Amino acid sequence: MKLLLCALAALAIPPAAHAGTPQAAAPRTVEVLDGPVAAAIDAQLTAAAEQRGFGGAVVVEMEGRTVLKAGYGYADREAKTPFTADTTAQIGSITKTFTALAASQLAAEGKLDLHVPVRAWLPGAAEPAAAATLNQLMTHTAGLDDYCGDDFEPRTRAELLTRCMALPLKQPPGRSLYSNLGLSITAATVEQASGQDWVSYLRTHVWAPFGMTRTGWTFPGAPRAGFAIGYLNDKAQPLISDQIAALHGADWNLKGNGGLQASAADMQRFYHGLMAQPEAVRALVLSPHAPGETPDVREGYGLFFRVDDQGRTLRAGHGGSDGTFFSYLALFPGRDAFFYFAGNNGETPARDELKGVLKTVQDALPPVR
């Protein structure tokens, strides 16, 4: 998605600064609160909801058990609907993690070769992008432009393969350059290799087997009460699933790279489903595959890897934002921890809350070995 800052990969964690309209006596829905780490985060987000207009949810696992699972503030201020861990909210560019998992599953099954130009699966695809491999597309090292039009500018699959893939490279392949377009091309390749459209593939191979019942692309007929409304400068924004549905399938500026919605509870199910994948799949998704834009970051498939000066992974994660919603997924390899955060009150204020929450989690984890 266009407003994601890929610097989220190396998210610095200074003390949080805050902004937003106070929401006195904001709701707080706690399913699990266990221990001092959870208590500290709960106190911060309770204050954020009551004093700074925050609405969102968080899930924290440490040592294999859930220590915090809760929602804060309003998912819908006008309807006074509380934000809970089951509220479906936009995950932005974390959509890329799902697309990368799909490609990794197909690669592990021998249906895709991640190091062969995608022209092998996309007949008629235009150069120069047709020469890119999935490894390059998923690690943002293909040299592609970031996008091929605005998120909601109509774009068909055929236009993606011709007009968009024909765009001149922004730089020679090999160095990191964040590209939403690259993950849309990956999604088209997943469709060709699997014989299913991208959404159907995710539904049958990820969402359903992982038990993710509050995740999707569009939600025809679903009750509005289950969705979070985004607030930009305190003004309610339309649901992204409605905007996508209005494109009537010409949604390829977003498909594969952004636009999914999920609940925090579903994102925890995603983590467990990912960790239960066959070793060949986990090895692809949970390993870095290329240098990042800075020395302390490595590019993976749908994840960025923050590393220390010895090259050891501190965390793997991905953020997502459209300027209104802000979400962040983090795994801590070797330390048996997981973290998911989502906020609906604008990227900057929600990201500021994240910094404090993430610091609390990281400070409590054992050292990397």
**Is residue 224 one of the residues assigned to a domain?**
yes
Domain boundary among 177, 197, 217: 197
- 278 and 288 in contact (C-beta within 8 Å)? no
**Is residue 86 one of the residues assigned to a domain?**
yes
Domain boundary among 166, 182, 197: 197
- 75 and 344 in contact (C-beta within 8 Å)? yes
Domain boundary among 155, 171, 197: 197
Q: What is the pLDDT of residue 1?
A: 54
Q: What is the pLDDT of residue 334?
A: 86
* 238 CB-near residues (< 8 Å, 6+ apart): none
CB atoms within 10 A of CB 296: 15
φ, ψ for residue 325, nearest 5 deg: -80, 150
Side-chain half-sphere CA neighbours of 256 within 13 A = 29
Are residues 328 and 299 part of one domain?
yes
Are residues 264 and 178 part of one domain?
no
- 72 and 46 in contact (C-beta within 8 Å)? yes
Are residues 130 and 61 part of one domain?
no
Are residues 53 and 85 part of one domain?
yes
Model confidence over 192-248: pLDDT tens digits?
Answer: 999 999 999 999 999 999 999 999 999 999 999 999 999 999 999 999 999 999 999
Count of domains forming the chain: 2
Closest CA to 260 of 4, 89, 138: 89
Are residues 206 and 69 part of one domain?
yes
Model confidence over 339-349: pLDDT tens digits?
Answer: 999 999 999 99
State the Cα–Cα distance between residues 87 and 181, nearest whole angstrom. 29
Cis before 128? omega within 30: yes
Are residues 302 and 333 part of one domain?
yes
Closest CA to 57 of 65, 149, 66: 66
**Is residue 105 one of the residues assigned to a domain?**
no
Q: What is the pLDDT of residue 194?
A: 98
Q: What is the band of 25 on the pLDDT scale with cuts at 50, 70, 90?
A: confident
**What CATH number is given to the structural domain containing 347?**
3.40.710.10
Q: Is the pLDDT of residue 369 over 90?
A: no
Say which residue the tokens 């706690």 belong to. Answer: 30
- Mean pLDDT, the chain, integer: 94
Give one DSSP letter per residue of 77-132, joined into a string: TTTTEEP-TT-BEEEETTHHHHHHHHHHHHHHTTS--TTSBGGGTSTTPPTTGGG-
The boundaries of the domain holding residue 349 are: 6-96+199-364
